[in-house]
Amino acid sequence: MTSINPASDFPENQPRAEGSKGQVLIVDDEANARNALAELMDDAGYSVSTAADGRTALLQMEQVDPDVVLTDLKMPGMDGLSLIERGRPMSPHSTFIVMTAFATIDTAVQAIKLGAESYLTKPLELDTVIAIVDRALERTRLSREAAQLRQRMDDRFHFNNILGEHPSMQRLMKNIAQVARSRATVLIHGETGTGKELIAAAIHQNSKRKDKPFIRLNCASLSETLLESELFGHERGSFTGAMARREGRFKQADGGTLFLDEVSEIPMSVQIKLLRFLQEREFERVGGNETLKVDVRVVAATNRNLKQRVEDGRFREDLYYRLKVVQLDVPPLRVRRSDIPLLAHAFLRKYAAENDRSVQGLSEEALQHLMIYPWPGNVRELENAVERAVVMCEGDLIDRDDLPTSAHGDLQNGSVMALIPGVTMSELERIAILRTLDAVDGSTARAAEILGISQRKIQYRVKEWGYQSATID
């Protein structure tokens, strides 16, 4: 362990160096302590700025947006507590750490209440300082990342709670918006767990019918007789157990939307009645003669290949064409892998809040596993995996071990190749640039040489992605 000795004056404001571990602001009125710590942190690979009091620190923060602020508590003028109070809203992602002598631990506790992450007791020990600062940097990184994701989501085209930035999802959402306004029957096709029901609900929510009922029926869950009666209603005594007249889902959905899930499972005898409704907008209750007319928009979903069913003689061709006036294909998660971080973070926030856990994010390794796993159960499987991880997780980061073992992708083959198909060219460009920069300690000149593109292009991209320093973890 190295203890900290007085040293010569440290320059007040050092710009963030390429390849530095992160930007640290040291605030202490005692010049010796401040300079010594600054020298040591500088040697340890951080970009360091310094300030002798809270007011100067605030000015510094405006210029450098530090990742971590290490502040003394007692200082003339503006003290450490006021600095935290004023500085936090200004630099919401900065992590504050207070440095305090044993005698003032009470004040340190107060500082934590104001939003400081932790405290260090003086005299400082370098190893402890570095460990705590590194943890703080990780926290800052996660906080910035989450804010960036939120920002990106706000900028994009999106519906209620359907998340997805991948071009295939963006196009799907555009189609949803267009089709929602019409009255056209919609067939949503996609593997299990891809979000078909969510999309059906979004179509309803974004239509003129939104204040009318959204009624859902799973066509696979009922016997032939019950399904028919459930859809169209029945007259009293129309079959054993039909004690009274009952209205069906079509009637309940009048003015609104009827969502027919697993539509491929409708038996032939019921298919013809559904076809008639789609053609004539009318039907009779089971066992009745009265013809009912309702205004219902039908949205159907299937995870089967309906066309194949038609060829196999199990689904009426005329009904097939009536249903797919508009067909929406929901891509499986494995061909839009670049949406995985977005979805994982959203589910993480949701389940952390629901379970009252303070989980902040995912470790790099955990995220890599999620990225390359093929997700046969699609978004639902991912959601379940993240929910479980939030509950299992002991620290504030979800780690690989918190994920179900089934979701452990093969990291051995976890090369960029494992992400294809599923990521866009610009995503690949991003990965290539960031990984290369990482391998050459952030030198854009060397990265440019390796990648065979101009240094300016790299700098431009890195800036565009919002990274302030060229080191990427």
Ligand X SMILES: Nc1ncnc2c1ncn2[C@@H]1O[C@H](COP(=O)(O)OP(=O)(O)OP(=O)(O)O)[C@@H](O)[C@H]1O
Cβ 329 to ligand X shortest distance, Å: 12
| CA distances to 5, 32, 123 from 2, in Å | 9, 16, 11
Q: With binding defined as CB under 6 A, does residue 67 bind ligand X?
A: no
Q: Which residue, 101 or 326, is less far from ligand X as judged by CB?
A: 326
Q: Angle 411-416-422 (CA atoms, 0-180°, nearest 5)? A: 100
Residue 161 interacting partner from ligand X, Mg ion, none (CB closer than 5 to 8 Å by kind): ligand X
Cβ 379 to ligand X shortest distance, Å: 3
CB atoms inside a 10 Å sphere around CB 231: 24
Residue nearest to ligand X (CB): 195
Cβ 406 to ligand X shortest distance, Å: 17
Binding residues for ligand X restricted to 139-168, rule: CB under 6 A: 161-164
Q: Residue 211: helix, strand or coil by DSSP?
A: coil
Residues 230/263/294/255 CA torsion (nearest 10 deg):
100
How many residues interact with ligand X (rule CB under 6 A)?
Answer: 17
Among residues 22, 87, 190, 256, the one that binds ligand X under rule CB under 6 A? 190
Structure tokens at 421: 């198909």
> What residues have CB less than 8 Å from 209, skipping those under 6 apart?
255, 256, 257, 297
Cβ 161 to ligand X shortest distance, Å: 6
Residue 408 interacting partner from ligand X, Mg ion, none (CB closer than 5 to 8 Å by kind): none
Q: Which residue, 302 or 469, is less far from Mg ion as judged by CB?
A: 302
Q: With binding defined as CB under 6 A, does residue 379 bind ligand X?
A: yes
Q: What are phi and psi of 223, to 5 degrees?
A: -70, 165
Residue 148 interacting partner from Mg ion, ligand X, none (CB closer than 5 to 8 Å by kind): none
State the Cα–Cα distance between residues 203 and 180, nearest whole angstrom.
5
Proportion of the chain in helix, strand, coil states, percent, rounded to 5 = 50, 15, 35
Cβ 218 to Mg ion shortest distance, Å: 8
Among residues 54, 80, 87, 195, the one that binds ligand X under rule CB under 6 A? 195
Q: What are phi and psi of 243, to 5 degrees?
A: -80, -25
* String of contacts with Mg ion for each residue 196-235, x by CB under 5 A: -x--------------------------------------
Q: Considering only CA atoms, which of 415, 384, 426, 417 is closest in space to residue 402?
A: 384
Q: Which residue, 391 or 453, is less far from ligand X as judged by CB?
A: 391
Residues that bind ligand X in the complex, under the rule CB under 6 A: 161-164, 190, 192-198, 303, 343, 379-380, 383
Residues that bind Mg ion in the complex, under the rule CB under 5 A: 197
